[in-house]
Amino acid sequence: MERVKHARPLFGDGVLAALLTLGGVVGTTFAGSPSRAEVPIDVRGYVLVVTAAVVLAVRRRWPQAVLAVVALCTWSYLVLGYAYGPILISFMLAVYSAARHAPLNRAVPYSLAALAMTLTHLLVHSHRLGLFGVVDVSAWVFVPFSLGFALRTRREMAVRARAEAIRQSVDDERLRVAQEVHDIVGHGLAAIKMQADVALHVLAKKPDQAEVALEAISRTSSEALDELRATLAMVRRAGTEAERSPVPSLARLDELRRRMAEAGVYVRLENSGEPVAALPVAVDLTGYRIIQESLTNVLRHSGAEQATVGIRYEPGGVLITVSNTVTDYSPGEGGSGISGMRERVLALGGEFTAGPSPDDGFEVRARLPTGGPS
């Protein structure tokens, strides 16, 4: 593929050089006829015209060398007294190519040297010398150089913009993965800590209950690790394992409720409205993570033994609420749970609130758009 991409410009330059050679010979013959020119065109003039046109076939690969050769041919052509003709097109194209494709620290001095060379022919042919002659010759360099430099700058800006877009995409993906890992690990560790506290409390007096808590710890940690592996496998596109592991969704809330019950928090689930047959994947996953993170906060900070999860399907969206009735609930200092949930919801164009509820509890409320009629 790379070979094909490089071959296309070379082929195009080769065709351009061939056309310039043919047009140069025909145009020079007309411009240098004895009836029109002081010095009629001869073999030496044709050689200079053809050479200046042919070397343009490699103008992208060696732009400075091409400019040096074309400038030398053009200078010789003009000093010998031939009439202005198509060789000037080759000269201006060589200047343009240097400004477009060569490093600027080389393109500038090469172009200035080419300008100085072409200006000297005005001294040899004094009848061409004058203000208009200097302006015309200077335009042969400044106009194509300015055009080449402008296109070069636009290309570099496009490359930088594309690189920035790629960098931003990578950063967004890293943030998404970090949020996924935060939710998985945070929920798992919170449940494990609660179960471990229970096991330590009853270990001496009720070893049977301690064994149940330790089994729950083992099961919760295994499930969290499996979910973490599945998430990382999807990020790395490691197909087989990612396909075998189900993606978290609102349809898998029973597993989340069971883990919370083992950690000591009973979750009541309330569904209303007409369920959407197939929620968008991003909405489905975000809804699950909002519920998971909210219940993790209940487990960590509230000390509540019960929480209510409401899922209401509305036209064009789904409303998710997670609430508990503990009035001294505090999400803690420096945490990123609520801010992370808010960022997830706002990224989908939804609405998010978290704070005291009317019944003196605490409630997380998120409305996610589903793309349907509103």
CA angle 271, 274, 275 (to 5 degrees): 70
E strands present in 9-156: none
| Average pLDDT per block of 10 residues along the chain, 374 residues long | 56 86 85 68 89 91 92 91 87 93 89 88 69 78 92 87 74 66 64 67 67 68 65 53 60 81 82 79 84 80 79 88 68 60 85 82 87 57
So what's the pLDDT on residue 97? 92
Residues 6+ apart with CB under 8 A from 299: 190, 191, 194, 260, 263, 264, 265
So what's the pLDDT on residue 65? 93
Angstrom distance (rounded) from CA 311 to CA 61: 64
> Taking the C-alpha atoms of 347, 352, 354 and 357 in order, what is their torsion angle to the nearest 10 degrees?
-170
Residues 6+ apart with CB under 8 A from 70: 52, 55, 56, 90, 91, 94
CB 98 within 8 A of CB 64: yes
Three-state DSSP at 34 gives: coil
pTM value surpassing 0.75: no
